[in-house]
């Protein structure tokens, strides 16, 4: 049987990151702040959020009212801070707060949207949020934590924990407590670009990294 070999199609050029954020043409951004060496993938939506240095969002992420630390690795189709509907009202429908859309009032319910914005999500430095995970409003995820694919995170996740499931629960810690504390004590995510480059080999060997840089 003959097969057609396609070496590449619509691959595009490799992205060189720098001081300015790299944002895909199909991404939608509203009222956000970006650090250096940041990247936002195709079809991502980001509103009222911070994406700090070296962090990236893959394709199709939808993020609202979140503070994302440095070196955060966010896989495709992740949802962070999906909007709540008002369960305490007689109706769940959004005509009660998106009033202008339905021609029911000249303006929307500003107090409701301000309440939503206060339910911010905080994601620490050097985190990994797996494909399709959902981080619910008000959740805090600690430095170095891992969130499994398709997890639904409804409660805070400690630093260096691995959490998975729906609802998510901590499965185990990445390192013993003393090692996690030693890594965190270096605050390496605050090192400048030249220092990170110089110490690249140290990042590939835990023992060497701790021996050279931990307090």
* Domains of the chain from N-terminus onward: 22-84+119-174 (2.160.10.10), 175-215 (no CATH)
Question: In sequence order, what are the residues at sequence separation of 6 or more whose Cβ sits closer than 8 angstroms to the Cβ of residue 88?
Answer: none
Higher pLDDT: 83 or 77? It is 77
pLDDT average, residue stretch 72-86:
95
Report how far residue 51's alpha carbon sits from residue 32's, in angstroms, rounded to the nearest whole number. Answer: 8
pLDDT of residue 83: 86
Residue in 116, 115, 139, 119 with CA at minimum distance from that of residue 129: 139
The answer to whether residue 13 scores a pLDDT higher than 80 is no
pLDDT of residue 45: 98
Q: Which of 37-51, 100-114, 197-211 has the lowest mean pLDDT?
A: 100-114
DSSP states along the chain: ------S-SS--PPP---SS-EE-TT-EEES-EE-TT-EE-TT-EEES-EE-TT-EE-TT-EEESEEE-TT-EE-TT-EESPPPP-TTSS--SGGGT-TGGGTSSSS--HHHHHHHHHS-EEE-SS-EE-TT-EE-TT-EE-TT-EE-TT-EE-S-B-TTEEEEETTEEEEEESS-HHHHHHHHHH-GGGS-HHHHHHTHHHHT-HHHHHHHH--
Q: Band of the pLDDT at 211, cuts 50, 70, 90?
A: very high
Higher pLDDT: 209 or 7? It is 209
For the question of residue 85 being annotated catalytic, the response is: yes
pLDDT tens for 20-41 read: 999 999 999 999 999 999 999 9
Q: Band of the pLDDT at 115, cuts 50, 70, 90?
A: confident
The answer to whether residue 86 scores a pLDDT higher than 90 is no
C-alpha distances out from residue 2 to 5, 6, 7, 8, 178, Å: 9, 13, 16, 18, 58
pLDDT of residue 40: 98
Choosing from 85, 94, 131, 193, which is the catalytic residue?
Answer: 85
The answer to whether residue 18 scores a pLDDT higher than 90 is yes
Q: Band of the pLDDT at 172, cuts 50, 70, 90?
A: very high
The answer to whether residue 10 scores a pLDDT higher than 90 is no
Question: In sequence order, what are the residues at sequence separation of 6 or more whose Cβ sits closer than 8 angstroms to the Cβ of residue 15?
Answer: 22, 39
């Amino acid at each position: 049987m003959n097969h057609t070999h396609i070496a590449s199609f619509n691959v595009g050029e490799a992205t060189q990151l720098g001081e300015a954020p790299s944002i895909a043409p199909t991404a939608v951004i509203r009222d956000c702040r970006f650090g250096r060496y940041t990247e936002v993938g195709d079809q991502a939506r980001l509103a009222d959020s911070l994406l700090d240095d070296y962090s990236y969002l893959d394709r199709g992420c939808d993020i609202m009212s979140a503070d994302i630390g440095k070196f955060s690795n966010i896989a495709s189709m992740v949802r962070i801070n999906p909007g709540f509907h008002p369960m305490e009202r007689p109706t769940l429908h959004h005509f009660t707060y998106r009033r202008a859309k339905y021609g029911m009032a000249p303006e929307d319910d500003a107090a409701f949207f301000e309440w939503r914005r206060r339910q911010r999500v905080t994601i620490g430095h050097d985190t990994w949020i797996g494909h399709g995970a959902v981080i619910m409003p008000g959740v805090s995820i600690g430095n170095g934590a891992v969130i499994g694919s398709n997890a639904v995170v409804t409660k805070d996740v400690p630093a260096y924990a691995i959490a998975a499931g729906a609802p998510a629960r901590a499965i185990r810690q990445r390192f013993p407590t003393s090692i996690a504390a030693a890594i965190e004590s270096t605050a390496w995510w605050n090192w400048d670009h030249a220092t990170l480059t110089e110490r690249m080999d140290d990042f590939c060997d835990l023992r060497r990294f701790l021996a050279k840089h931990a307090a």
